[in-house]
Amino acid sequence: MNAGFLQTPIVYLKGVGPNRAETLQSELGIHVYQDLLNLFPNRYIDKTQYYKIGQLQKSNAEVQIVGKIIHLKTVEQKRGTRLVAKFVDDTGEIELVWFRGQKWIRENLKLNTPYVIFGKCNWFNGSFSMPHPEMELLSEHEKSLRIHMQPVYPSTEKLSNKGITNRVLGKLVQQLFVETKGKFSETLSDKILYELKLIPKSEALFNIHFPKNQELLAKAQFRLKFEELFYLQLQLIAKNMLHKQKIKGFNFDQVGTLFNDFYANHLPFELTDAQKRVLKEIRADLGSNAQMNRLLQGDVGSGKTIVAVMTILLAIDNGFQACLVAPTEILANQHYNGIKELLAGTGVTCELLTGSVKKTARKPIHEQLENGELHILIGTHAVLEDKVIFKNLGLAIIDEQHRFGVAQRSKLWHKGSPRNGEVGGATPPHILVMTATPIPRTLAMSLYGDLDISVIDELPPGRKPIKTVHRYDSNRLKVFQFIRDEIRKGRQVYVVYPLIQESEALDYKDLMDGYESIVRDFPQPEYQISIVHGQMKPEDKDYEMERFVKGETQIMVATTVIEVGVNVPNASVMIIESAERFGLSQLHQLRGRVGRGADQSFCILMTSYKLSSEAKTRLETMVQTNDGFEIAEVDLKLRGPGDILGTQQSGMLNLKIADIVKDNTILKSARYFAMQLLKDDPSLEKPENLVIRHFYAELVRFKNIWNYIS
């Protein structure tokens, strides 16, 4: 069946018509035949098995039983009556119960005649019962042709109201198979089908909608999941390969004086093996004549900044400028202060450009950038403005890149410089994207599959792992005593709250309440306390932050505004109030604010006794591990990819059947096969790969392929 036929508008399918077509479009996004074909069932009702009453488990599952009704009675209850039948087979008995339609049922039921019943089994007071079972005489059941495993399709309230029930959807899918004769073009090569023992496409589609048994269903699911992930990976890998061939980058072939002098004389500590490995990967990219497009992942405190600085020095050694863009002023300031300190005495010039920088101070920055006197520009979105023109930007570093939109990233791209005096097309700068949000491997493979990925997976020596404990509100006095002891040792403490104002609906300690109770327990002048929250003016916030950074206050009471980038090595205790209200990655980011000095640091998770099972899992995970990647994997299992990426990016993984968390092994296999295929036949020109080339072109043509811009 050719793909063109599958692009027929759904209104033309027998049984649909204009009204149904409109509802199917708005509710399920079904516009053409192809969309209906790819509306895969959520689950299946298994009617392949017949249970004996003696085999029933207390599982609330739907079961099918053959037996007879030997007795019927009406039972009075508080409101009205219920009809109860005693249903037996040779292993035991079960009650069948009806609350509605009793007159009709009583008149039509036959006693002592074999029936097949189907429904949910409830266990109550030592016996099983089945409310409102589906019933069919065994003699009828044996005659009728049936799909043993009934598909259950996604549905919405509006669909049900418009009469488009599960049964109707099933009928429409059947009609689609009639019109296509159940024949669909193969989309994978013979080699892949053979190596993975995959069933053909037509067979897979038939068995996903109308499986005869569990085994055929499993084969169909595997085949379709593999195909979906294979084409996703094929696109990402092809994009990366094309990028390297087509998009030329500046060749940084010098490892010059600045880099070597910094390495020998200015490094504040010995680099870890992970940092050395990542630098090697970056240097290979920078000297390859292709534009670097690399994602650098490293947990909080793993030393990404030093890698960024050394990459910047490589750019300057080769006669280029560099910029570093951060999502917030606090973070940009911190990068600026940290990098300036690291490069003191090297002769490298560095300036800061954020929204707060006054107009008068901007002019000299713009001039020095254009004439090349300024080597490094650090800042926020202000760096992206059209007025900001570089003489020769060779490297752009983006911190916490998921907070930047696609348009903003492309602006950086176009700030590149002409190659060797060429007029016209600018060569894009090398791009290094940094994130302290560990992205699980499965997600990274799918989202950033077109970026090369480097991971710093060890902490610098001398860093002690942060001790994390979970305490209930009733332990508060002991926690306060612990804070006093730590302050006595000269340390500082964060106390973080999830809310700014009291929310009546949620019984959580809010910031102001908490602040007042801390002020009572830690009175002035012995203790000084800072407070920072989202509703303060930026200058007030900065003033309070500054006092804490300088050590003038010992306790910082805050909402999550301190989540990213505050670096106070002397702060050794992080107390997170109502910790059950935070997501795992947020808890991990907050914990990363301490543990930056040589002292032992602590993170105390405070909660009430009322905890959901998911909250318990989050808290246990935090107590058990400091490994950001492990935490990210648990987070991904709990929340799914959409939530982890935030709303603006969750649409990216609009997969029809595969689940990148549960189908992790299929994803790895799909990536491996896509990689091998493109290594062997980059243009997909070999005769045996034409089927893949043809389907890939159609996916792109009909916009069914997921487009990412990283």
Given a cut of 70, whether residue 437 has pLDDT beyond it is yes
Least confident of 292-296, 461-465, 497-501, 576-580: 497-501
Query: Taking Cα atoms as reference points, which of 495, 620, 508, 600 lies closest to residue 558?
Result: 495
Label residue 631 by pLDDT band (50, 70, 90): confident
Q: Which of 434, 396, 433, 439 is nearest to 414 (CA)?
A: 396
Shared domain check, 384 and 262: yes
Residues 151 and 217: their CA atoms lie apart, in Å, by 11
What is the predicted pLDDT for the residue at 224? 95
* Residue ranges making up the domain that contains 169: 1-36+151-182
Per DSSP bridges, beta strands 393-399 and 430-435 are parallel
Same domain for 505 and 429:
no
445 lies in a domain?
no
Evaluate if pTM is beyond 0.85: no
User: 332 in a domain, yes or no?
Assistant: yes
Q: C-alpha distances in angstroms, 378 versus 136, 383, 692? A: 75, 8, 45
**pLDDT interval class at 589 (50, 70, 90):** confident
Task: Report which of residues 578 and 408 the model is more confident about.
Answer: 578
Statement to judge: residues 494 and 611 lie in one domain: yes
Q: Is residue 477 part of a domain?
A: yes
- The pLDDT score that the predictor gives to residue 488 is 94
Regarding whether 130 and 14 lie in a shared domain, the answer is no
Question: Which letter does DSSP use for residue 664 in this model?
Answer: H
- The predicted model gives 308-318 an average pLDDT of 94
Q: Which of the four pLDDT bands, split at 50, 70 and 90, describes residue 445?
A: low
pLDDT at residue 560, as a whole number? 63
Same domain, 66 and 4: no
Same domain, 419 and 279: yes
**Mean pLDDT over the full length of the chain:** 84
Residue where a domain stops, chosen among 182, 205, 232: 182
The larger pLDDT score, comparing residue 700 to residue 669, is at 669
Is residue 227 situated within a structural domain?
no
pLDDT band for position 645 (cuts 50, 70, 90)? very low
Q: Is 637 contained in some domain?
A: no
Closest to 594 (Cα-Cα) out of 461, 489, 494, 479:
494
What tokens were used for 604? Answer: 């105390």
Q: What average pLDDT does range 582-609 have in this prediction?
A: 87
Nearest to 182 by CA among 8, 85, 37: 37
Domain end position, chosen among 145, 173, 191: 145
Cβ–Cβ < 8 Å for 323, 383: yes
Task: Say what the pLDDT of residue 585 is.
Answer: 80
Q: Is 99 left (phi over 0), alpha (psi -120 to 50) or beta?
A: alpha
Same domain membership, residue 362 and residue 275: yes
Residue whose C-alpha is closest to residue 437's, from 273, 542, 312, 563: 563
* 464 vs 491 pLDDT, higher one: 491
Q: Are residues 398 and 526 in the same domain?
A: no
User: Which pLDDT does position 408 carry in this prediction?
Assistant: 67
Are 489 and 602 contained in the same domain?
Answer: yes
Q: In this predicted model, what pLDDT tens digit does every residue of 501-555 receive, in sequence order?
A: 555 444 345 677 888 889 999 998 899 998 887 777 878 888 888 888 889 999 9
Instruction: Give the pLDDT of residue 651.
Output: 39
- Go through 364-384 and write b for each residue having 16 or more CB atoms within 10 A of its CB, e for each that does not: ebbebbeeeebbbbbbbbbbb
- Cα separation, 188 vs 197, in Å, equals 12
For residue 75, the SS3 value is: strand
Q: Establish if 703 belongs to a structural domain.
A: no
pLDDT band at 404 (very low <50, low <70, confident <90, very high): low
Question: Which pLDDT does position 419 carry in this prediction?
Answer: 47
Q: Say if residue 376 is in the same domain as residue 507.
A: no
What mean pLDDT is predicted for residues 19-36?
91
What is the pLDDT confidence band of residue 279, given thresholds at 50, 70 and 90? very high
* Residue 421 shares a structural domain with residue 345: yes
Asked if residue 200 belongs to a domain, the reply is no
Q: How far is CA 14 from CA 153, 209, 430, 687, in A?
A: 19, 18, 55, 38
224 near 166, Cβ under 8 Å?
no
Reduced 3-state DSSP string for 279-343: HHHHHHHHCCCECCEEEEEECCCCCHHHHHHHHHHHHHHCCCEEEEECCCHHHHHHHHHHHHHHC
601 and 486 fall within a common domain: yes
pLDDT in tens, 183-219: 999 999 999 999 999 999 999 999 999 888 878 888 9
Reply yes or no: is the peptide bond before residue 525 cis, omega within 30 of 0: yes
Last residue within a domain, chosen from 625, 642, 669:
625
Bridge partners, 470 (sequence order) = 605
Residue 555 · residue 527 · CB < 8 Å: yes
Q: Is residue 699 part of a domain?
A: no
For residues 354 and 332, the answer to whether their CB atoms sit within 8 Å is yes
Quote the pLDDT of residue 277.
94
Give the pLDDT band (50/70/90) at residue 59.
Answer: low
For 348-387, what is each residue's pLDDT tens digit? 999 999 988 898 999 999 999 999 999 999 998 888 888 8
CATH number of the domain to which 328 belongs: 3.40.50.300
How far, in whole angstroms, is CA 524 from its chain's centroid? Answer: 45
Distance CA 8, CA 28 (A): 17
CATH number assigned to the domain comprising residue 135: 2.40.50.140
Q: Check: CB of residue 430 under 8 Å from CB of residue 652.
A: no
* Range of 292-296, 652-656, 661-665, 671-675 with top mean pLDDT: 671-675
For 107-127, the pLDDT digits (tens) are 889 999 999 998 888 888 788
Q: Is 62's pLDDT higher than 60?
A: yes
555-558 and 430-435 beta bridge pairing: unpaired
Total tally of structural domains belonging to the chain: 4
The model's pLDDT over 558-568, given as tens digits with 9 standing for 90+, comes to 876 554 456 78
Average pLDDT of span 328-348: 88
pLDDT grade, residue 415 (50/70/90)?
confident
d(CA 414, CA 610): 53
